[in-house]
Structure 1
Amino acid sequence: MPIDAAKALAAEPRSGEISWDRKDVLLYHLGLGAGVPATDPDELRYTLESRLHVLPSFATVAGNGSPGVISGLSMPGVDVDLARVLHGGQSLTLHRPIPVEGTATATGRIAAVHDKGKAAVLVMRTEVTDADGPLWTNDAQIFVRGEGGWGGDRGPSSLPHSRLRSSGGTPTEPPAGEPDRTVEKRLREDQALLYRLSGDWNPLHADPEFAKVAGFDRPILHGLCTYGITLKAVVDTLLGGDVSRVRSYTTRFAGVVYPGETLRIRMWRQAGAVRVAVSAVERDDAPVLADTVVEHS
């Protein structure tokens, strides 16, 4: 069996030093589409080093995103085909604001392995600390098609990807009523090519032939790119542009996004949180992100 759950869970955590600087932060923000209009003072907070703040979702790529989704696939007990892998969901907890430049220790491990019958879900946890203490904790849900069925723990009933709904997952509906804010974001045709420069080199997002093998008409956008674009929309519209207010950010990747499409980002205010639903406008509002919550101060 390609996934040995017991071995994966028992494996020693992997730790390594990561570092980032202003250029990494600027590149990440540009990969999300920041800087339009280029002279907008609100956008300059993402694109000009003298005014720079760090969007919290940068935590998913800091140090080139390692350890992360790809490194999790090389952990003991895990041996899978990259073409069968999808990123099912992501949770981020901020312990304090991310500095513009930094060096830290990232420790990664497999925190859970779920048997969904027709697939397996690995939860890859990364904890990052620097000299001043904890910075952030990332949980990435890695969905591996065709690797379930060994009789293991099924985990949460909500499945991490819409392609699995036939296996019994129940997607959560967005809140009732009209959203407090709606933002539409048109993606560049080369959005995935820009975003991958921050460290996610999976050919699914660039190579048409690889995308076909994986079952897609053409390369798809990184789920974490949509994740970052969505958080930026929430910060800019409902949190007064203050990135330090974000406490945590969770989502489930409910469907694919193709570069060049338009994202419709709907936001509902709640006590200490913003609920979000994201869809692809050109495909009849096909769901893209679901079960999405930004907790804030």
Structure 2
Amino acid sequence: MPIDVERALSAEPSSTRITWGHKDVQLYHLGIGAGVPATDPGELRYTLESRLHVLPSFATVAGGGMGVVGGLSAPGIDVDLTAVLHGAQSVETHRPVPSGGSATQTSSVAAVYDKGSAAVIVLRSEAADEDGPLWTSEAQLFVKGEGGFGGERGPSSRRGTPTRAPDFEVLRGVREDQALLYRLSGDWNPLHADPEFAALAGFDRPILHGLCSYGMVLKTVVDTVLGGDVTRVRSYGTRFAGVVFPGETLRVRMWREPGEADEGAGAADAGGGAGAERAGRVLLSVTAVERDDAPVLTDAVVAHR
């Protein structure tokens, strides 16, 4: 079997040094659609180096952006890349991501689950600098044809969304050149740029990177619900439910859920301070408008301070 589960799980974590600067952050933000309108103060915090704030989803590309694919070279993992789908992604920040710096990124295979017709490989990466932990990211890779080895199926992450109307609904257009710009942050898969390669994969044209839509949606939540404050994001996780084509429109529905401090009597009224009331979660549903709201991201949650 191409996946040696015992060997993969017992292997020593691999570590690499990653570095990034403000240009990397600005390029990433432009790649997920920031900068429109170009002079909008709310957009300048993503594009102007003197005001730069870093979206936590930048962690998925910091140092080159190939951490997910690189994890497939771990001991015990030998799979056909054409059979691999990025099934889910999460990022947890331990403190604000700086606009430039270096860190040691340590990666390991955290789990391998047996889904019958496929295997799910869970890759975990932790980044830390001299001041301590920065972020923890986790990717779930769905490998077709590698299941049936008698392993655990793994936990279910299905969350769903409330039956009530969303608190916010925003349309986000995907530019025709979005994938071409986003791939400059490190994911050079020709599936996102070469029509001939996309046709071999069964698509009539190149598709958008899943992690690009992932970043676009987090920016939408920060701008719409969190007052543009990237430091309020604690974690962000989702399942990739469908593809997006450049030129399409994303419909982002958002439901606010209170944190513990919001429940019952107001903490501010009790003298606890307004800051304690702000913690909570935003549940998300993301669909492609032009294809009858076909699912794009599901089971998506942003936990915030």
The answer to whether TM tops 0.5 is: yes
- Say whether 1:266 aligns with 2:253: yes
- Say whether 1:179 aligns with 2:166: yes
Bigger-Rg structure (1/2): 2
SS in 1 for 2:78: coil
Show the counterpart of 2:120. 121
How far 1:14 moved relative to its partner?
0.7
How far 1:84 moved relative to its partner?
1.2
Show the counterpart of 1:286. 294
Whether the 8 Å contact between 1:184 and 1:263 is mirrored in structure 2 is yes
Partners of 2:197 and 2:82 in 1: how far apart? 8
Show the counterpart of 1:58. 58
Show the counterpart of 1:167. none
How far 1:72 moved relative to its partner?
1.1
- Say whether 1:225 aligns with 2:212: yes
Partners of 2:83 and 2:178 in 1: how far apart? 23
1:261-287 alpha-carbon deviations (Å, 9 max, x no partner):
100000011111111110000010011
How far 1:217 moved relative to its partner?
2.5
Q: 1:1-297 alignment to 2 at 5 Å?
A: 1-66=1-66, 68-158=67-157, 172-271=159-258, 272-297=280-305
Partners of 2:229 and 2:86 in 1: how far apart? 28
Whether the 8 Å contact between 1:203 and 1:211 is mirrored in structure 2 is yes
Partners of 2:69 and 2:203 in 1: how far apart? 20
How many positions carry a matched residue from both structures?
Answer: 284
1:296 partner letter: H
1:187-222 alpha-carbon deviations (Å, 9 max, x no partner):
011111111110111222122232233332322111
Partners of 1:75 and 1:210 in 2: how far apart? 26
Partners of 1:103 and 1:4 in 2: how far apart? 33
Partners of 1:215 and 1:114 in 2: how far apart? 26
Whether the 8 Å contact between 1:115 and 1:154 is mirrored in structure 2 is yes
Partners of 1:75 and 1:122 in 2: how far apart? 11
Whether the 8 Å contact between 1:84 and 1:214 is mirrored in structure 2 is no
Partners of 1:145 and 1:212 in 2: how far apart? 19
202-211 or 91-100, which deviates more: 202-211
Partners of 1:206 and 1:146 in 2: how far apart? 26
C-alpha change, 1:213 and 1:115, in structure 2 (3 Å) is farther
147-156 or 267-276, which deviates more: 147-156
1:89-131 alpha-carbon deviations (Å, 9 max, x no partner):
0111110000011110000011000111111111100000000
SS in 1 for 2:219: helix
Partners of 1:275 and 1:236 in 2: how far apart? 15
Partners of 1:85 and 1:213 in 2: how far apart? 15
Give 5+ residue unaligned stretches, structure 1. Answer: 159-170
| Amino-acid identity (%) | 71
1:76 partner letter: P
Flag as ranges the 4+ runs of structure 1 deviating above 6 A.
Answer: none
197-206 or 50-59, which deviates more: 197-206
77-86 or 255-264, which deviates more: 77-86
Partners of 2:87 and 2:116 in 1: how far apart? 15
TM-score, structure 2 normalization: 0.91
SS in 1 for 2:73: coil
How far 1:22 moved relative to its partner?
0.3
TM-score, structure 1 normalization: 0.93
Partners of 1:226 and 1:260 in 2: how far apart? 12
Whether the 8 Å contact between 1:45 and 1:52 is mirrored in structure 2 is yes
